[in-house]
Structure 1
Amino acid sequence: MMAFGLALIGMTGAHADFPEDDIEVIIPYAAGGGFDSYVRGVLPYMQKYLPNDVNLIPRNMPGAGGRKGATAIFRARPDGYTIGAFNLPGLMLPEILGERVAYNLSEVTWLGRLSEDQYLLVAAGSSGVTSVADLRALGRPIKFTATGAGSSAHAASVIAARMLGLDARVITGYEGSQAYILAVVRGDGDVALGASNSIGSYAATGDLRVIASLERSSSYPDAQTPAELGIPDLSELALQRMLGAPPNLDPEARTVLIEALANALADEELIRWSESIGLPFAPLSAEEAAANVTNQRALYEQFKDFL
């Protein structure tokens, strides 16, 4: 976070023609969820660092798993007055699977990343499984639980199983992360991939054991990481929240918005707020975010025939 902040350059002290009016920020999910909280949390600070006195106005636009909002952002005029949030790989998977969508993520003007949630691989606490090696030693297909085919959880499970060299069967159809995580607790499945906010309470009681974490976690120091497993690309499966704008964004608007977001994410007051409510940011610059999208797409494309 400090290195990110030190790299910033500011233009907020000088007059700029942009913005001259309020900016609409499309949130492609309903109000009240984690995605909504992240975006609404950063907007007052981003507004603080704009060179002119205008408002950033959030607008929730749920529908079609986020595609409705993503399409609205993509089709907006590239003048900087409509930007929005993107959920990856959720919005990437329809493109990779050949579904018809009205946006192209490779053409989005990326402004930066807000946060990421790295998956945890969990087994039932009573299962005796404490490592990936234990899973391999079972000598039978490993049952993963997940939401429906085409979902982020399903895709991540398929890819992780293949990268880990596991003969796996993914049981789908669970309604949401809590449902498929509970299925592992009950013994309906052997393992599941889930974000820490879905797993923490079960790990604390011993109902679940975290056997691998796609990044080093102080909460689960014994969990194996991708580097320790010899598969560093596993970390590309992360769930990410990005801010982006339409293709071919006006150059002045792009500069102003990128700098406002970067300065906001380095603001100590925002950092304290995010940590106090358990929603830590994991910022990437515009260039880093664009590269990250490219890398994540490459990984999912590699396994698209199995999804």
Structure 2
Amino acid sequence: MIARHLSRALTGALVMTGLLSMAPAATAAYPEKPITMIVAYGAGGSTDVTARMLAPFIEKYLGGGARIVVMNRAGAGGEIGFAAIADAPPDGYTIGFINTPNVITIPIERQARFNIDRIDPLVNVIDDPGIMTVHADSPFKTLEDLVKQAKANPNTVTVGSTGVGSDDHLAMLLLQRQAEVRFTHIPFPGSAENYRSMLGRHTQVCGQNLGEGLRGRSAGDAVRILGVMSKERWAMAPDLPTFKEQGYDITMVSMRGIGAPKGLPPDIRAKLIEAITRAAEDPEFQTKAKETFQPLRIVAPEPFAAELKQLDVAFRALWRENPWLK
């Protein structure tokens, strides 16, 4: 009798062992290795500052000992970095900042290594209006001083940007058109290089974003901001007149959000979106963003994607009317 019960118990144990061996192995919890966050511009620029400040908060909300490594992949106006995001395996271990207008304009102006349809916009974080900055000892006290000099001496005023088709470059072209002047465009691989060139008096004007300019001014850099390309004066800098106030109807804003390769597993995508959103909404991060003059505008995936599509339509129309790559 005892032998019969032992036999049955042993048989049951063997059957259970067989069933367990046939079951799929448990999937490791995401993330189980470091996540690469690509910045398509050089170290020290606005996007790099945002990325390095935001990354620890994303790690916090991903949990499980998550680690994010910020990697700068600068060059070609952002194309190298954007292509690296688009080309990465859609496994959640590569994300990166996507910047307008470059992420839209690069595939319009040339045969690029990526297009916006290959990148999944997750969450927008920053909305940074354009400005034009000069050295404090520049003869240009106002935007009109700059225009008068360019009108009297075509192609002699140098304006730096973060690359062909960047918001800085397009803003310069719009000012050229409206003021009927000609500048000499000097493209740089990133905003830090552009800014340093102006500080070193190698270029006369730095086309940049408000956050960069205010950080420099706050740090005591010898600079003067000629105007801001927002619809209204910015709360962080109420002393700065808009371009429109000065007679030039130019609005140019750089959205900076996080994207990933198309095709993420739905559960990983949802986890990333939640972690990025909570990170951007974290009071400590928001305080740091304010202290470093980063204009926040958190936009969820669907409206973020919709805005990118609208920009694509608008910039394609502008390209047909006035191609900016010559």
| Bigger radius of gyration | 2
Whether 1:26 aligns to 2:43 is: no
Structure 1 pair 247–300 and aligned structure 2 pair: CA distance change class (3 A):
same
Whether 1:168 aligns to 2:181 is: yes
Shift of 1:238: 1.9
What is the identity, as a one-letter code, of the residue corresponding to 2:277?
A
Alignment match, 2:79: 67
Whether 1:106 aligns to 2:117 is: yes
* C-alpha RMSD of the superposition: 3.9
Alignment match, 2:159: 145
Q: Deviations over 1:138-196 (max 9, x none)?
A: 9766956234862523233113443xx2212121236543366469x89x86x663323
Shift of 1:88: 2.8
Alignment match, 2:22: none
Q: Deviations over 1:246-299 (max 9, x none)?
A: 112222222221111111111111112233344453322222322232233333
Distance in structure 2 (CA, Å) of the matches to 1:221 and 1:75: 44
Distance in structure 2 (CA, Å) of the matches to 1:148 and 1:48: 32
Structure 1 pair 30–157 and aligned structure 2 pair: CA distance change class (3 A):
closer
What is the identity, as a one-letter code, of the residue corresponding to 2:102?
G
Distance in structure 2 (CA, Å) of the matches to 1:43 and 1:32: 15
Q: Deviations over 1:205-245 (max 9, x none)?
A: 996352444252242435136599694xx43x323322111
Whether 1:57 aligns to 2:57 is: no
Structure 1 pair 170–149 and aligned structure 2 pair: CA distance change class (3 A):
farther
Question: Structure 2: where are the runs of 5+ without partners?
Answer: 1-26
Distance in structure 1 (CA, Å) of the matches to 2:186 and 2:147: 23
Contact 1:27 1:36 in 2 (8 A): no
2:195 aligns with one of 168, 175, 178? 178
Alignment match, 2:290: 275
Alignment match, 1:195: 209
Structure 1 pair 295–221 and aligned structure 2 pair: CA distance change class (3 A):
farther
SS class of match (1:283) = strand
SS class of match (1:249) = coil
Distance in structure 2 (CA, Å) of the matches to 1:30 and 1:179: 13
What is the identity, as a one-letter code, of the residue corresponding to 2:298?
P
What is the identity, as a one-letter code, of the residue corresponding to 2:116?
L
Whether 1:116 aligns to 2:133 is: no
What is the identity, as a one-letter code, of the residue corresponding to 1:25?
T
Structure 1 pair 18–168 and aligned structure 2 pair: CA distance change class (3 A):
farther
What is the identity, as a one-letter code, of the residue corresponding to 2:124?
R
Distance in structure 2 (CA, Å) of the matches to 1:110 and 1:174: 27
User: TM-score scaled by structure 1?
Assistant: 0.72
Alignment match, 1:299: 314
Alignment match, 1:262: 277
Distance in structure 2 (CA, Å) of the matches to 1:161 and 1:201: 26
What is the identity, as a one-letter code, of the residue corresponding to 2:180?
D
Contact 2:161 2:208 in 1 (8 A): no
User: TM-score scaled by structure 2?
Assistant: 0.68
SS class of match (1:21) = coil
